[in-house]
Amino acid sequence: MNSSVDQSPKYLRAVIQKDRTGCGIASVAALAGVSYMEAKNAAKKLGITIDDPRLWSDTRAVRRLLKHFAIQTAPREKPFRSWRQLPALSLLAIKWHREKGKPYWHWVVFVRHGEKSAVLDSKKALRRHCRTDFGRIKPKWSIELKAPQAKPQALGF
């Protein structure tokens, strides 16, 4: 994918996860412009459930769900270097940690349009789900994305 071309949608809206482990599903819902339940039902049809730890410890399940919604992904994850180096539209792994030797993380969406950037975070407990507090967010790696035209909503760039 060519990150030099701004392929980010002008507007995206955060989708709040309804399940403790539903951050990947919520991130895909935001990118696809569908509700959490629509994305969760699509995931279920693909054999992806919220109680499957691979949803937040392996990229394959989220990649399959992204493909279902015609969202193209770069073939490999890239280590996070800086916010400026991120592609205009990316899935980020944040809160990366190990439990019993296995990696886990929280999925969020990074979007840039022009000079403005934001992270869409699905975590229910947040007051604001469209985040610009980049100093507090510690990405481990990203997956570059190319989404179909998103439905206009709340980023408001």
Mean per-residue pLDDT for 55-64? 90
Tokens at 3, concatenated: 């990150």
**Mean pLDDT of the residues in the chain:** 87
Mean per-residue pLDDT for 36-43? 97
Q: Quick: pLDDT tens for 70-126.
A: 999 999 999 999 999 999 999 999 999 998 888 999 999 999 988 889 999 999 999
Question: Percentage of the chain surpassing pLDDT 70?
Answer: 86
pTM: 0.87
Q: Rounded CA gap, 139 and 79, in Å?
A: 9
Amino acid in position 18: K
Angle at 85 between CA 82 and CA 129, to 5 degrees: 70
Correct CATH for 23-146 of 3.90.70.10, 3.30.700.30, 3.40.50.720, 3.40.50.10610: 3.90.70.10
Q: Where are the domains of the chain?
A: 23-146
Over 50: is that where the pLDDT of 10 sits?
no
Which of 61, 46, 23, 27 shows the shortest CA–CA distance to 147? Answer: 27
Over 50: is that where the pLDDT of 135 sits?
yes
